[in-house]
Structure 1
Amino acid sequence: MASPETSSPPKPSAQESLVAGGGAGLLAGLASSGCMLLLNAFAHGVSLPEQVGATITALMPLSLFQFLQQLIGDEAKRYLLVCVILGQCLVFAASGSLYMLARRRFLFKPGLGPRLGDGFVLAALLWLFAGLVVLPLTGAGLFGATLSIGWFNSMWSLAVSGLVFALLFPLAYHWLTASRIREEQRRAEVRERRQTLLRRGLILGGVGLLAAFAFRFITQGAHAPTVTLRGFKSRIVPPPQPNYGPIVPVPHLSSEITPNDQYYVVSKNLLADPVVNGQSWSLTIGGQVEQPYTLTYAELLTLPRRRQYESMMCISNEVGGPYMSNALWEGIPLNVLLQRARPKPGATKVVFSCADDYSDSIHLTKALEPTTLLAVRMNGQTLPERHGYPLRLLVPGIYGMKHAKWITRIQVVNYDYQGYWQQRGWSDEAQIRMTTRIDTPLDGSRLQAGSLTYIAGVAFSGERGISEVDVSFDLGQSWQRATLKRPLSALTWVLWELPWRVPSQAGSYTITARAIDLQGNVQDPRPAPPLPDGASGYHTITIVVA
């Protein structure tokens, strides 16, 4: 009879192989996913979560996309990234379980768990699955061949992430199975603990979602006062003459020029924006042109430049939202580059392709306007990385999604090109809708009865300018005209201000603001969500007089 010292370890059951393999796959997969995200952020590697997330948003019905955006808000893409990463880790876990079951059936030797070679075999299978199945399904081609980083960067970065998985998988398996006997004794306790944690997690998650929904439901006007439309005119003829004058600096009023580090940032990328090397970067101008050519960054900087103040607003900005900023830009007029290339007859659009595989287009007539710039500087500084270094587009009068960043290629085409967000249901024309924002007082502020305060904010109408801003204290039944600060250019927002004597009677008061552009068009009072053409409606706040 064999002694305990010489007897072979008991052969794991199918259930034990399944659980241990899944756990090892999950732990090694978490490390591999982290490596993948780091390589994507710092070494131009491919990120499967980014690619899968983009595919999910493309396939998502427009109504569902809008509902989730309104429910979760601007953090929706972060939640999506987390969900995709968790899904990827579950795939790792499932692969570990299946591999150990297959190994147990065909290759198992009693007493031996997975060796280093097993980790490499499983990692190789996952590498092939990612390159030959997952990436093609997301539209990136075999091993990401159609991505801007190319197939080579995709292959090696997936290989490095796979190496991390291969090294950790067998170690994690043996670590998980080392205390199998002790865990058997504690299985009931662990099961009960997991069930308790699961119940608590589900409860907390549900409460969190309900709280987020309730917060947005309350703050975004589910029961907001309705502005009266009685006597509303969509256009005033002749247009009002702007009431320019000095304004008093007050807390919370937007600065006329937004500092670079405070300028709003929105991109399609779930985690990391591209970091472009200006020394190796080049810009290709081609498509339906007589003379295609390429420029280096140094050559681009030698071309004549134009400076202009211009404001920008994101199409996903809610009424009164923060995604609106103003800066002094410096760049090369796009028409200079296009005229050198000489577009062919029949050309209708100009397409911009970017280092993060984003793309969009504008009409050729818009591209030839002198104010459409390829910006290289922002507020007197080299264009920051987060704002598109080395080159971004500026298109006055059109929402920010058209202002492509990290541009690498410009193509003139003779068809109706639909860009990244247009394929997901957003407007292609994307003309900015007039908006007014109340910056101060803050919504929900408590003001002292009888005190003098200032109601102030910004108004913006793309390149159509602002002739008047009005403030109402009775939901639009009457309006008081605010003073405008003369704008820095015809392409920027306008700062406005109205002194107001706070009523002596305590209570809650509603303040509403609207704008009129230089053509006499009155801001649309009808509430509409950002998707698909940009938000509309009047910004309304409530203050409390004590």
Structure 2
Amino acid sequence: MHRQAASASGIATPQSTVWWSRLAGVVAGLAGLAIADLASWLFAPTGSAVTAVGQLIINLLPASLVNFGKDTLGTADKPVLLGIITVFVLIISGLAGQLEHRRKLGGAVVFAVLAVLGMVGVAARAQGSLRAYLPTVVGLLLGYLILRALITRLRRWRPRRAAADPSDTDRTAAFARRDFLQLTIAVGAAATVGAIVGRALASAANAVADARSKIRLPGAAKPAPAVPAGAELSVNGLSPYVTPNQDFYRIDTALQVPVIDPDTWSLRIVGMVENPIEISYADLTALPLVEHLTTLTCVSNEVGGSLIGNALWLGYPVRELLARAKPLPGADMVLSRSEDNFTAGTPLEALTDPDRLAMLAVGMNGQPLPIEHG
């Protein structure tokens, strides 16, 4: 005899069907997590909801409990916490599958709650960046659409109402069963691979974000003058004199923001120079740094456009680095190459002009360079 569970419509649902609906929810939840982590890697290194919620939990727990976890689990404390959060999400996703099978959009409510919880965690560490919320929204939205597709096939396989012709029901159920199982297996396999890859990529990005959060910038050997009185006009619709980091424009063609560990970063000055040099991040921040309020604008910014910002930058003058490298006669430009192979050529004269104060920046408005602007 098959056990049955009552549905919202009052029609009994076989217990085995309930478990199939829960499996559909787990698969959809896993797919949503995988998509969210991959989207985090692409668009917002600090936007991994699982990691953000884990960090929020750590911040809210009593220090004694956090220390107990470290003493008991050692370096496995964070992976264990992230694993617990993931299992919790998958269990709740299974419940979403059961609710979706009972009533259309029933699972949407559960996925929406998970999205809100994820965004709360992201809000605690994303410093107001709207881009950081995108992975959570995209992941759970697509996860729910996958759930809808799975539950639709499950209903065709195991309808709650018996058909008038049992032979038609058997034929339809056979095709629907195969359709449901094939999609479930395909999505489950893809989600598992995607979750592993996405978690690895997101973990690397979050490791860099964590390393950045631990940076303590040195004071400037030559501070910038104070902002003149009256410079802040406080006019409605007019941006502030100093643009906040989260509002500073960003224009590039990179799908993935480069995430660079400051412990492994280095700068090489080679080519037509007498003394090729290479300095690390620690070497750079140990130099006498200067502050300067500098306005940057995109070449494509229109008059009155938003692609412009003014920030207090902390860094080391490029002319001083070039003086150490000693460019050879005939050298007239510097070719800069970024981690993601973006290149830019700058006249040597502009970089060595003391009135222009070209600098290699390490700080922006009193904070280490944001990943999006580093």
TM-score by length of 2: 0.41
**Structure with the larger helix share:** 2
Larger Rg: 1
Structure with the greater relative contact order (CA < 8 A, sep ≥ 6): 1 or 2?
A: 2
Greater strand content: 1
